[in-house]
Amino acid sequence: MGMLEELLRGFTKNKSEPLDESLMEKQGRLSRSLIHATLAHRHLAERQFFVQQVAYWITIFGLLVAEASAPILDSASMWTWLTVSVVTWLIRVALFWPLTQLPPAVVKKSLGLKLIPIVIIVIACFYWIWTIHLFVGPVLTVRVLIMCIGLLSISVSMTGMWPVTPIAVVLYNVLLWGAFSANLYSNGVASLSVIVALDMGVLAVLWLNIFIAVRQLNDLLARTHEASQLVNQLEIANDKLERLKDTAYKTLDTRSEFFAGASHDFQQRLHAAKLWVLSAMAATKTHQSAESTLDRLGQEIDALQIYINNILEFARIEALDAGVKIRATEIQSLFQKLDLHFEKIAERDGVQLRFRIARITVGTDASMLLRMLENLVSNALKYTKNGVLVCARRTSRGASIEIWDQGPGIKLEARQRIFDAFHQEEVDDQGRSKGVGLGLAIVKRFATRLNYRIDVKSVMGQGTLFRILIPREFVIGPGTIENSR
């Protein structure tokens, strides 16, 4: 149970590392044979690698003690062997280090990283084959027994790597014990039958370690990997939830500001209507004519009705219940509808409203784009002195629908504020009817929905240009126009 607890602690330790969705991808059988890359398998490999190094240095120390008590190597050979022992150990540790630091998803995708265990095994096997050649002689000595015990302990710790890199485990044990057995036989230390018996005993020990101790870890490793997948999914879901929460807070703040502004504006308009009612009542009590007062009261009530309709529509837009339906739409058809809608209003106000013919077809929500143009044209007619021009043209980036007026202009610092709900710039003309302050806010919301951009250019005292910039991907070519009719 101690190993199981260590693995669980290892998993929670690595939990702070960023989990990648590629953790949920399945490795192929060959790839898993080279190295099984998950957080749980990596922690198991780290533990087993540490155990191997402990067994390695215990064996080295045992050989040093045996050599000191009964030397068979000269001083130069001894120091050479010890130097190679340290250097090869440092190389193997340096090669193993990246596997403990890189995310499992990176290891899965790199053949070079997956071959690192094989390289480590090859270096270790060459080292041990050379060491066996140095220390195993024709006589069975304590030195040979120490090496046998040391190699067995290293092999047992190596088999703990079976769930991580089975190919490396098989390669290591075959080369190591094959070289040791061949050296024993060639030096006449033991007969062939004894060597076979020794190898069978080693195989039995390794088999018991793999299929009894190590195999018990497979279920835990599988469950730990499933847990990592669930944690990964949970983190993704939490990120989405955080984004939704932020969106909800922003929406709540927007709604709060919206209804606060609407409530204040509504009370002002209702108070104005109430004053006109009181004025009419006072006129009737003094037997004066209340016709003009009642007429002004009717205008206030009409304005209040328009205001309520705009409030309801803007609230519907903010509630995101206005779906976008993209259809091929000729801009000229929208201009014709605008001309019919504003013709009487322009005549009444003595303003010249002109439309240039536009032979452009775009993919858009016709009702949304029409409402945007209605608000912009209505705004232009309200503030212009002489006339309003509406036109459309192709640009290098798509298409541009333009509304020109000859109004007082908009200050530079106010060109972003005008799109806020209930915002109205102060004007010098006191006779101009006060608007709701939602027209341009609706234009901005619809432009965002359609992925359009609104551009404002203005010169104080001369006029303002509003442009609806439609991206190139929404502009339909001439060949498509005929097919879409």
Domain ranges of the chain: 2-239, 325-484
Q: What is the pLDDT of residue 445?
A: 83
**Rounded to an integer, what distance in angstroms lies between the CA atom of residue 404 and that of residue 372?**
15
Best CATH choice for the domain 325-484 from the list 3.30.450.20, 3.10.129.10, 3.30.565.10, 3.70.10.10:
3.30.565.10
pLDDT digits (tens, 9 = 90+) for 135-177: 887 777 777 888 888 888 888 888 777 777 888 888 888 888 8
252-to-258, 266, 330, 436 alpha-carbon distances in Å? 10, 20, 37, 22
Q: What is the pLDDT of residue 254?
A: 62
Mean residue pLDDT across the chain = 78
Q: What is the pLDDT of residue 142?
A: 78
Q: What is the pLDDT of residue 222?
A: 61
pTM, two decimals, is 0.44
pLDDT digits (tens, 9 = 90+) for 218-250: 566 566 656 666 777 787 888 888 888 877 777
Q: What is the pLDDT of residue 15?
A: 41
**Rounded to an integer, what distance in angstroms lies between the CA atom of residue 357 and that of residue 406?**
21
pLDDT digits (tens, 9 = 90+) for 282-292: 767 666 666 77
Q: What is the pLDDT of residue 19?
A: 39
Q: What is the pLDDT of residue 83?
A: 94
Closest CA to 464 of 393, 420, 414, 426: 414
Query: Is pLDDT larger for residue 75 or for residue 211?
Result: 75
**Most confident range, picked from 123-127, 239-243, 265-269:** 123-127
Closest CA to 454 of 387, 381, 383, 379: 379
